[in-house]
């Protein structure tokens, strides 16, 4: 696998992470369901998951960068598994609305697990991982993916500040603390 | 508020990864990941308001 294919795969990964963040944000805006602390932590970990691909795009695919993503995905899967277990009992309605039969935290667990498997597959087939750590010119497709994820992370930071204000986020938020109104 | 701070920290790591030095990006990544785990552990020790609390029969 050459550098070009590796960068393209990492850009696709970033677009996938962006899709997850957009879906979460759409649920928040359209359905008016504010994210709970564990939900916010899962979003944070999706953003952290994006750092490995950003480094891969800028400096070239590298096993160390994939390892960063694996660590983030492991922590993310742990957090989402905990939230699944909180709502494991029969007749528990879960937190928030379900999308295609699963709640956001279940989809998050699937996404983190899929990330672990996909990264392992990429490492399996990447027999020529350059270790040069030298920045090279980057195409529009890849740089667009990086900018999209950075923008979504910034939007999430602003939204979380609006939701929680300058105090600890409530377990079951129903209004934006800084706006003092329901969504 | 801690989550807004975490998002801002991740934003800084992303910016350093994209524009800054490789070594600094790795160091900041480690700090943010440890902070996330610490935040998780902090919430993991909270008393849980489980939906089935009190409904269990043995």
Closest CA to A165 of A180, A181, A153, A177: A177
First to last CA, chain A: 47
* Cβ-count burial A70-106 (b if 16+ within 10 Å, e if not): bbbbebbbebbbbbeebbeeeeeebbbeeeeeebbbb
3 state SS of A87: coil
Closest CA to A79 of A117, A48, A41: A41
Name the residue in chain A with its Cα closest to that of B37. A75
Name the residue in chain B with its Cα closest to that of A36. B3
CA B33/CA B21 separation, integer angstroms:
18
Helix B22-44 and helix A37-49: axis angle, to 10°? 160
Residue A16: its pLDDT value, please? Answer: 95
| Interchain contact, A156 vs B51, CB within 8 Å | no
Task: Give the CA distances from residue A31 to residues A25, A37, A114, in Å, rounded to whole numbers and listed in that order.
Answer: 10, 18, 27
Q: What DSSP element (H or E) covers A142?
A: helix A140-164
Residue A114: its pLDDT value, please? Answer: 95
Residues of chain A above pLDDT 90, percent: 48
Q: For testing the chain B interface, which of A86, A146, A160 should be mutated: the one with the most B CBs within 10 Å? A: A160
Closest CA to B19 of A156, A37, A58: A58
Residue B13: its pLDDT value, please? Answer: 95
Do the beta carbons of residue A47 and residue A181 sit within 8 Å? Answer: no
Residue A41, both tokens? 């932590």
| Interchain contact, B3 vs A89, CB within 8 Å | no
Residue B15, both tokens? 């910016």
CA A1/CA A123 separation, integer angstroms:
10
Q: Which residues of A touch B41 (CB under 8 A)?
A: none
Give the closest of B18, B39, B51 to A58, CB-based.
Answer: B18
Q: Is B34 left (phi over 0), alpha (psi -120 to 50) or beta?
A: alpha
Residue B55: its pLDDT value, please? Answer: 54
Q: Which residues of A touch B25 (CB under 8 A)?
A: 51, 55
Helix B2-19 and helix A51-59: axis angle, to 10°? 10
Q: What is the residue whose two structure tokens read 């359209």?
A: A30
ipTM value: 0.84
Q: What are the domain boundaries of chain A? A: 3-128+139-164
Q: B28 to chain A, minimum CA–CA distance in Å?
A: 11
Q: What is the pLDDT of residues A63-82, one digit of tens each?
A: 999 999 999 999 999 999 99
Q: Name the residue with higher pLDDT: A116 or A35.
A: A116
Q: Which residues contact A159 (CB under 8 A, 6 or more apart)?
A: A25, A28
CB proximity under 8 Å: B 1-58 to A? 1-4, 6-8, 10-11, 13-15, 17-18, 22, 25-26, 29, 32-33, 36-37, 39-40, 43-44, 46, 48-52
Q: Which residues of B touch A49 (CB under 8 A)?
A: none
Q: Is the pLDDT of residue A149 over 50?
A: yes
Helices within B1-58 (DSSP H only): 2-19, 22-44
CA A72/CA A145 separation, integer angstroms:
19
| Interchain contact, B25 vs A51, CB within 8 Å | yes
Do the beta carbons of residue A178 and residue B39 sit within 8 Å? Answer: no
Q: For testing the chain B interface, which of A34, A49, A55 should be mutated: the one with the most B CBs within 10 Å? A: A55
| Interchain contact, A44 vs B6, CB within 8 Å | yes
Residue B58: its pLDDT value, please? Answer: 47
Residue A95: its pLDDT value, please? Answer: 80
The pTM is what?
0.86
């Amino acid at each position: 696998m050459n550098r070009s294919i590796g960068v393209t795969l990492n850009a696709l990964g970033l677009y996938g992470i962006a899709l997850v963040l957009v879906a979460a944000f759409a649920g928040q805006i359209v359905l008016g369901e504010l994210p709970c602390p564990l939900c916010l932590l899962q979003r944070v970990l999706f953003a952290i998951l994006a750092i490995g691909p950003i480094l891969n795009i800028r400096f070239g695919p590298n096993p160390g960068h994939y390892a960063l993503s694996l660590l983030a995905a492991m922590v993310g899967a742990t957090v989402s598994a905990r939230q699944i277990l909180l709502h494991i009992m029969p007749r528990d309605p879960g937190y928030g609305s379900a999308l295609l039969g699963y709640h956001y935290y279940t989809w998050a667990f699937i996404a983190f697990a899929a990330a672990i498997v996909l990264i392992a597959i990429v490492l399996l087939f990447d027999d020529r991982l350059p270790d040069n750590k030298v920045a090279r010119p980057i195409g529009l497709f890849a740089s667009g993916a990086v900018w999209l994820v950075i923008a979504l992370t910034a939007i999430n930071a602003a939204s979380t500040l609006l939701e929680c204000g300058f105090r600890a986020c409530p377990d079951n938020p129903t209004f934006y603390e800084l706006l003092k109104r329901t969504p | 508020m801690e989550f807004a701070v975490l998002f801002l920290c991740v934003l800084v790591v992303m910016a350093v990864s994209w524009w800054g030095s490789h070594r600094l990006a790795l160091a900041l990544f480690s700090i943010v990941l440890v902070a996330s785990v610490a935040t998780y552990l902090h919430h993991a020790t909270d008393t849980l308001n489980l939906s089935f609390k009190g409904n269990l029969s043995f």
